[in-house]
Amino acid sequence: MEHAVVTGGAGFLGSHLVDSLLEDRYRVTVLDNYGSGRPENLSHVESSQLTVQKHDVRDTFPEFDDVDIVYHMASRASPDDFASHAVEIAMTNSLGTKHALECAREHNACALIASTSEVYGNPEEHPQSETYNGNVNIRGPRAPYDESKRFSEALAVAYGQRYSMDIRTVRIFNTYGPRMDPHDGRVIPNFLSQAIRGDDLTIYGDGSQTRSFCYVTDLIKGIRGFADASTSVASGEVINIGNTHEITIEQLAETILDNVDTDSDMTYQPLPEDDPEIRKPDITKAKQMLSWRPKVSLVEGLKNTIDEFDPDQ
């Protein structure tokens, strides 16, 4: 039975990844410090093949007998945390990535590093393909996250070359679904909490900025497909995984108001500094390499999310 180590496995995406690995008969060890994750995200799991260890990836990993793959998902990802947990985030994506890579190296395992569309910053190229180098403000409020993710990728490439390791990097675009933290400040949980409570939905700026939202099951299938692809095809590669259906934030708010039974309206606040104006992945590479494409529509995904969403959780 293959052994997968999943850092950040008690978080939103990590816990769905754990479900998928257990379904495919992996033995799974989660390392998580519960900074933004929750034990409840894994409380539904009954499998004896899951071990959860409270561990901060800024510290050297525990000893394992054998490891086949390390999925490095640990990192706070909420813009609300970028200032209050700036150093923690920067070190999780630098020192934490080093520890994840060292673990993979020690066991001759594959490492799959979770990067982000934030490496593209406020993009001057649209849609963003993997060859675009990005436009990130190195001193701005998002820098501790954006720049440490860029470093994480650079370190992964360096390890791959220096130690001939099988390292794969996935640039995740905005993803939503059940188990998102209702309080973490990202736009879909914010809007859902406000709509369910009957408060007006807060739109930053005029709402014309665009985003593309991927449903979590689509994302996890993409990540697993990438991890399972043959070494000759995927080793050393970086791919975008996300949904290409681009909408404005105002359209997202309208869609949520249409799908929640609420009297809420919309209210407008100034746009935060460095908030990207446009964001949409070019997923040509994932389509060609993995025959992957997102299948769940925004309305279908939102309905599934609303069914399980509790703003008071």
Ligand X SMILES: NC(=O)c1ccc[n+]([C@@H]2O[C@H](COP(=O)([O-])OP(=O)(O)OC[C@H]3O[C@@H](n4cnc5c(N)ncnc54)[C@H](O)[C@@H]3O)[C@@H](O)[C@H]2O)c1
Report in angstroms the alpha-carbon separations of 188 from 1, 11, 132, 152, 292.
Answer: 37, 16, 27, 27, 24
Is 145 an active-site residue? yes
Q: What is the closest distance, in whole angstroms, from the C-beta atom of residue 197 to ligand X in the complex? A: 22
Q: Which two structure tokens, joined as six digits, stand for 14?
A: 């990590």
Q: Which is nearest to 182 in space by CA: 80, 78, 39, 311?
A: 311
What is the Cα–Cα distance from 19 to 253, expressed in whole angstroms?
Answer: 30
Minimum separation from the CB atom of position 3 to ligand X (A) = 18
Nearest distance from C-beta of residue 12 to ligand X, angstroms: 4
Minimum distance of ligand X from residue 103's CB (angstroms): 13
Which residues contact ligand X by CB under 6 A? 7-8, 10-14, 31-37, 56-58, 73-77, 92, 96, 114, 116, 172, 174-175, 181
Phi/psi for 224 (5° steps) reads -65, -40
Structure-block tokens of residue 29: 């060890």
Smaller CB distance to ligand X: residue 143 or 172?
172
- Dist. CA 222–CA 216, nearest whole Å: 10
Q: What letter does residue 131 receive in the DSSP assignment?
A: T
Minimum CB distance to ligand X smaller for 36 or for 264: 36
Token match 């998102």: residue?
180
Spatial CA neighbour of 98 closest among 145, 162, 156? 156
Q: Exactly one of 71, 120, 145, 176 is catalytic; which is it?
A: 145
Residue 71 CA to residue 310 CA, distance in Å, equals 28
Residue with tokens 């609420």: 262
Q: Which is nearer to ligand X, 81 or 250 (CB)?
A: 81
Yes or no: say if 222 and 287 are a contact pair by the CB < 8 Å rule. no
Q: Are 299 and 174 in contact (CB under 8 A)?
A: no
Residue 145 φ then ψ, to 5°: -80, -55
Neighbouring C-alpha atoms within 13 Å toward the C-beta of 114: 29
Of 35 and 200, CB closest to ligand X:
35
Q: Considering beta carbons, is residue 212 or 264 the nearer one to ligand X?
A: 212
Least spacing, CB of residue 80 vs ligand X, in Å: 11
Measured from the CB atom, the residue of 11 and 121 that comes closer to ligand X is 11
Helix H or strand E encompassing 241: strand 238-241
CB of 189 to ligand X, least distance (A): 10
Positions marked catalytic: 145
